[in-house]
């Protein structure tokens, strides 16, 4: 089952940075209301051809509604959705060149694996021999040839997931929509399948739009990620950018683990932002250019793995460091997370990779420790 692992971000593939690139899927200030509830709010977004695009957000953020508008199961209340330059308004789902892989897989229980995959092809009145060849091709792609004659209830969860994938790919859709495709799989199988998905996407050269609430999944498979909240897009960027350069506390908090330290800006010039932080009791200096005046509130967002922990004080004890007491240690095997409580009552987390087999940790509960970080380790956020 092991497929060659292909990195999620392809070298040189960045049509979103190319002003001449034509958008493939385009949302133009789309709003969708269900009664009083606004599921999608004045949202604009462009997705490019051959892109693996992820919509990421908590449940109820409107990501599934957005995808269902591409599939044709929902019509926008306002605005329009375009596919390959053509408006999709009023086009019923059965005429759209998109196919969807449902979260529940939605396999037809009374049909065999073969018949499920052939279903869409039969709708196109494709000649019998062509259908057989295509089904065969799909079964090979998802490695399910021996199971062709089985019914869905005779398959495992992972096999059902593959049938659903094969069925949605059989018609060679312009866009494949994946609604939480891996949610029902166990962790190991999910990780394997994530790499297989990117592999299939690049082999077939299709545009994939995936909806997920699992940030790890989105980061693994996608070229770009859109982080959504309450019907709006908070940030659209590559997984690395979303992780390293979140544009807001919401995104920083949603993606991965983060420490947020609140402070007041004391200086903002020459690409250096200075912050007076009551929580650490010391100054913070970050190499960054932000548009904010002195006196404004700002936050330092810093990932736990970028915070160094030590029993010895750093050379400069006035900025970019703080002292505290180890409150708790989370041992995860590969890494340990130290929860350090500062005198101000704030807890800062620091992750340390367990490079050696430690029987006794040098730093343990109730130790007085120093936390420090470099000037480019964190991001200054003003919203």
Partner 1 sequence: MAVAEATRAGETPAVLPAAGKASRARWLVVAVPYVWLALLFFVPFLIVIKISFSVTAVAQPPYTPVIGLSQGIAGLIDAFRQFTVDNYVWLTEDALYARAYLSSLVIAVVSTGLVLLVGYPIAYGMARASKTWQPTLLMLVILPFWTSFLIRVYSWIGILKKEGLLNQFLLWVGVIHEPLTILNTNWAVYIGIVYSYLPFMVLPLYAALERLDPTLLEAAADLGCRPVSAFWRITFPLSLPGVIAGCFLVFIPVTGEFVIPDLLGGSDTLMIGKTLWTEFFKNRDWPLASAVAVILLLILVVPIVIFQNRAARSEGGVPV
Which residues make up the interface to partner 1 (CB under 8 A)?
71-73, 92-96, 98-100, 102, 104, 106-110, 119-120, 123-124, 151, 153-154, 167-168, 171
Tell me the closest approach of the beta carbon of residue 124 to partner 1, in angstroms: 6
Tell me the closest approach of the beta carbon of residue 148 to partner 1, in angstroms: 15
* C-beta of 98 vs 259, nearer to partner 1: 98
Compute the CA torsion angle 368, 320, 308, 331 (nearest 10 deg). 70
* C-beta of 164 vs 222, nearer to partner 1: 164
* C-beta of 94 vs 187, nearer to partner 1: 94
Determine the Cα–Cα distance for residues 282 and 292; give it in Å rounded to an integer.
20
Determine the Cα–Cα distance for residues 363 and 220; give it in Å rounded to an integer.
33
* C-beta of 85 vs 109, nearer to partner 1: 109
Determine the Cα–Cα distance for residues 264 and 295; give it in Å rounded to an integer.
5
* C-beta of 95 vs 357, nearer to partner 1: 95
Tell me the closest approach of the beta carbon of residue 307 to partner 1, in angstroms: 45
Taking the chain, what is the end-to-end CA distance rounded to the nearest angstrom?
Answer: 45
Tell me the closest approach of the beta carbon of residue 349 to partner 1, in angstroms: 41
Give one word for 70, left, alpha or beta, with left for phi > 0 and alpha for psi -120 to 50: alpha
Task: Identify which of 221, 235, 13 has the alpha carbon closest to the alpha carbon of residue 101.
Answer: 221
Q: What one-character DSSP code corresponds to residue 319? A: B
Residues forming a β-bridge with 298: 263
Residue at token pair 């010039």: 269
Determine the Cα–Cα distance for residues 194 and 192; give it in Å rounded to an integer.
5
* C-beta of 152 vs 263, nearer to partner 1: 152
* C-beta of 78 vs 130, nearer to partner 1: 130
* C-beta of 92 vs 295, nearer to partner 1: 92
Determine the Cα–Cα distance for residues 326 and 324; give it in Å rounded to an integer.
7
* C-beta of 102 vs 327, nearer to partner 1: 102
Tell me the closest approach of the beta carbon of residue 64 to partner 1, in angstroms: 12
Tell me the closest approach of the beta carbon of residue 328 to partner 1, in angstroms: 43
**Do 270 and 306 touch, CB atoms closer than 8 A?**
no
Tell me the closest approach of the beta carbon of residue 82 to partner 1, in angstroms: 19
* C-beta of 155 vs 371, nearer to partner 1: 155
Tell me the closest approach of the beta carbon of residue 208 to partner 1, in angstroms: 15
> Could you give the strand order of the β-sheet that contains 52-56, starting from the edge strand earlier in sequence?
98-101, 175-179, 207-212, 52-56, 224-229, 232-237
Contacts of 351 (CB under 8 A, 6+ apart): 257, 303, 304, 305, 307, 335, 336, 337, 338
Determine the Cα–Cα distance for residues 210 and 174; give it in Å rounded to an integer.
14
Tell me the closest approach of the beta carbon of residue 144 to partner 1, in angstroms: 18
Sequence-ordered strand ranges (E) for 221-296: 224-229, 232-237, 259-269, 272-277, 282-287
Tell me the closest approach of the beta carbon of residue 171 to partner 1, in angstroms: 7
């Amino acid at each position: 089952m092991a497929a060659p692992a292909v990195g999620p971000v392809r070298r040189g593939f960045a049509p979103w940075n190319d002003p001449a690139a034509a958008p493939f899927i385009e949302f133009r200030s789309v709003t969708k209301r269900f009664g009083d509830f606004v599921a999608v709010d004045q949202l604009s977004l462009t997705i490019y051809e051959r892109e693996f695009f992820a919509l990421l957000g908590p449940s109820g953020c409107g990501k599934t509604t957005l995808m269902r508008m591409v599939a044709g199961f929902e019509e926008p209340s306002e605005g329009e959705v375009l596919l390959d330059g053509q408006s999709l308004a009023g086009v019923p789902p059965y005429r759209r060149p998109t196919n969807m892989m449902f979260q529940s897989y939605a396999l037809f229980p009374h049909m065999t694996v073969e018949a499920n995959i052939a279903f869409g092809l039969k709708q196109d009145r494709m000649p019998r021999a062509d259908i057989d060849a295509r089904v065969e091709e799909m079964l090979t792609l998802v490695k399910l040839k021996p199971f062709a004659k089985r019914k869905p209830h005779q398959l495992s969860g992972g096999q059902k997931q593959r049938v659903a994938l094969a069925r949605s790919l059989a018609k060679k859709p312009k866009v494949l929509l994946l609604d939480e495709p891996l949610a029902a799989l166990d962790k190991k199988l999910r990780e394997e399948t994530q790499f297989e998905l990117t592999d299939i996407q690049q082999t077939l050269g299709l545009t994939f739009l995936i909806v997920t609430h699992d940030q790890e999944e989105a980061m693994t498979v996608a070229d770009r990620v859109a982080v959504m909240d309450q019907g709006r897009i908070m940030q659209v960027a590559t997984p690395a950018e979303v992780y390293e350069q979140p544009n807001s506390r919401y995104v920083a908090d949603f993606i991965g683990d983060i420490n947020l330290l609140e402070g007041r800006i004391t200086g903002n010039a020459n690409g250096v932002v200075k912050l007076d932080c009551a929580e650490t009791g010391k100054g913070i200096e970050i190499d960054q250019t932000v548009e904010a005046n002195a006196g404004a509130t700002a936050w330092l967002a810093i990932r736990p793995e970028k915070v160094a922990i030590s029993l010895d004080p750093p050379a400069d004890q006035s900025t970019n460091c703080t002292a505290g007491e180890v409150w708790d240690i989370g041992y995860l095997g590969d890494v340990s997370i130290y929860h350090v409580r500062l005198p101000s009552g704030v807890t800062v987390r620091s992750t340390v990779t367990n490079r050696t087999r430690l029987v006794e940790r040098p730093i343990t509960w109730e130790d007085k420790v120093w936390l420090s970080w470099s000037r480019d380790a964190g991001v200054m956020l003003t919203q």
